[in-house]
Amino acid sequence: MTLYVHKYGGTSVGNLERIKQVADRIVQARQRGDRLVVVVSAMSGETNRLLALARGVQDPPDSRELDVLLATGEQVTIALLSMALQQRGCPACSYTGGQVPIVTDRAHTKARILDIDTGRIEADLAQGKVVVVAGFQGVTGDGDITTLGRGGSDTTAVALAAALKADECLIYTDVDGVYTTDPRVEPRARRLDRITFEEMLEMASLGSKVLQIRSVEFAGKYNVPLRVLSSFVEGPGTLITYEEESVEKPLISGIAFNRDEAKLTILGVPDRPGIASKILGPIAEANIEVDMIVQNVGEDGSTDFTFTVHRNEYRRALDILRRVCDQLGAREAAGDDTIVKVSLVGVGMRSHAGIAAKMFDALAREGINIQMISTSEIKISVVINEKYLELAVRSLHEAFHLDQSPA
């Protein structure tokens, strides 16, 4: 008998009507003979309501107490969903993270799962019950309530699927799968039937926020087949699998983009060993995260050094870079916060030459100037002026025939 872990996010359980719809869906699945563990988030808006209460008394709120407070959000949902299932004649039983228990480390508000005891859940499943588990939360070894941070319910679902050796983990959300790119930018964007874990990781880290990146890593590590699908529309969604299991191997799976970056450049730096750390050290000390880094050594023995940061950190980073510029005797520190990053993602590019050339050619034909290039094994990213974003995405979508299903 197959065992599925379902996960329903905040909008899927946003009010009593939607909770009842989720219950209907679960009852149908159970009638097909599936054994089911269901992970739920807090009703949409609830976590923000609780955060506002907390900030009304302490700012910033104590992290241990904040976890006690926020954990009530999912606790409400598990009780209501279990009741809705029972109302439909479906035996069901709820568990908080602490009751399972899902044991985490002590890092309040961003805890990591250390261990899951599946004993109680397996006993309930053996009795034919649907088990409803609170996502996002756990408990330390000495009984303190913890939360896994935003999006942690996905992680709970994947971790439970791994611990229970479930056949599949189904993440129900408000989109019906993973697309070749954002349909709001390219209306011809196509839902992918399958995507590999590695591609999904690149897509997620590049701003396609269908799944929490930690849950994808977790699923990959423990070999849990993951499916993203809509809780509102029937459909197969997108299956996230290991490359080896994938029958469909397109060159390119999708185009991701990120509007939240800004570019910083220091020009004419005397090229000596240790220059990179002298530039990035002060940036790291200021707790500013760096994304792309590109360095080119010029012919005159001086070098240009460029990197990108989150756009919110642009001003702080530029101030730091100007001081570094003086200390190093570099020519100039400059920046640009009107850039975007566009990336082609696909495991197929590993074994195919010419992908980069085809990409650059497609952009050049539209007169789009490339300011930075960075590549990894399954991804090519370029930085361009933000005004070209939509044009670049559509040109690449067309050049790589992403609107057509691979044969």
Nearer to a copy of itself, 78 or 216 (CB): 78
Nearer to a copy of itself, 34 or 65 (CB): 65
Q: Where are the alpha helices (DSSP H) in 177-228?
A: 197-205, 213-221
- Using the contact rule CB under 8 A, the part of the chain among 76-84, 161-169, 227-235, 334-342 near a copy of itself is 76-84
Q: Which of 3, 76, 334, 399 binds a copy of itself (CB under 8 A)?
A: 76
Strand order in the sheet with 238-241: 92-95, 130-134, 35-40, 3-8, 168-173, 226-230, 238-241, 194-196
% helix, strand, coil for the chain, step of 5:
40, 25, 35
Distances (CA, A) of 34 to 5, 18, 26, 325, 392: 10, 22, 9, 63, 44
Q: Is 27 in the site for a copy of itself (CB under 8 A)?
A: no
Nearer to a copy of itself, 86 or 374 (CB): 86
Footprint (CB under 8 A) of a copy of itself, residues 295-314:
none
Q: Which of 11, 21, 44, 99 binds a copy of itself (CB under 8 A)?
A: 99
Token pair recorded at residue 107: 């890092």
Contact 250, 271 (CB under 8 A): no
Name the DSSP letter for residue 82.
Answer: H
Footprint (CB under 8 A) of a copy of itself, residues 33-72:
50, 53-54, 56-59, 61-62, 64-66, 68-69, 71-72
Closest by Cα among 281, 278, 276, 312 to 293: 276
Nearer to a copy of itself, 63 or 385 (CB): 63
Closest approach of a copy of itself to the CB of residue 155, in Å: 22
Name the DSSP letter for residue 129.
Answer: P
CA distance 217 to 220: 5
CA distance 202 to 83: 39
Q: Is 11 in the site for a copy of itself (CB under 8 A)?
A: no
Nearer to a copy of itself, 71 or 166 (CB): 71
Closest approach of a copy of itself to the CB of residue 46, in Å: 10
Q: Is 94 in the site for a copy of itself (CB under 8 A)?
A: yes
Closest approach of a copy of itself to the CB of residue 212, in Å: 24
Contact 5, 166 (CB under 8 A): yes
Contact 291, 309 (CB under 8 A): yes
Nearer to a copy of itself, 144 or 167 (CB): 144
Token pair recorded at residue 52: 């506002």
Closest approach of a copy of itself to the CB of residue 62, in Å: 5
Nearer to a copy of itself, 46 or 202 (CB): 46
Footprint (CB under 8 A) of a copy of itself, residues 109-168:
120, 143-145
Nearer to a copy of itself, 38 or 210 (CB): 38
Q: Is 89 in the site for a copy of itself (CB under 8 A)?
A: no
Strand order in the sheet with 137-139: 113-116, 102-104, 137-139, 145-147
Closest approach of a copy of itself to the CB of residue 17, in Å: 9
Binding interface with a copy of itself (CB under 8 A): 16, 19-20, 23, 50, 53-54, 56-59, 61-62, 64-66, 68-69, 71-72, 75-76, 78-80, 82-84, 86-87, 93-94, 96, 98-99, 120, 143-145
